[in-house]
Amino acid sequence: MTHTSQSRGAASAPRQAHRRRPRQHSRVSRRRRLVGLVRLTVLLLVVAVVIWAGARVAHATDRSEHLQGVVHVVQAGDTVWSVVVAQYGGARHDVRQLVDQVEQVNELHGRSIVPGERLRLPYVE
């Protein structure tokens, strides 16, 4: 019987050691997972910044024709207001200021536009 009690004691010692290891292992694995998650987050953030910066650079230009704006050929039924709204969109800009700017650039001074006339539409950010 002493032999079985010794064997049980010997068998229970490795079980206890085995039970302790998962706790230490789980702490280490949690820490590793956390470090991995932080690294992944930083990597994704860096990738997002690089993509954003690349898009900004890709849309940047120093070509003078782009900065001068575009030319619009007036169609029947066009007004300066409708051309400005179609070209610049009404949500991002004050249409009244843009209409004034287009009239000044084209020296319209309140006169009507006619079909076939070429309007210079200035560059607006």
Question: Would the pTM count as exceeding 0.85?
Answer: no
How does pLDDT run across 58-85, given as a tens digit for each residue? Answer: 766 665 554 567 889 999 999 999 998 8
- How would residue 88 be classed by pLDDT, with cut points 50, 70 and 90? confident
Query: Residue 92 and residue 80: Cα distance in Å, rounded?
Result: 17
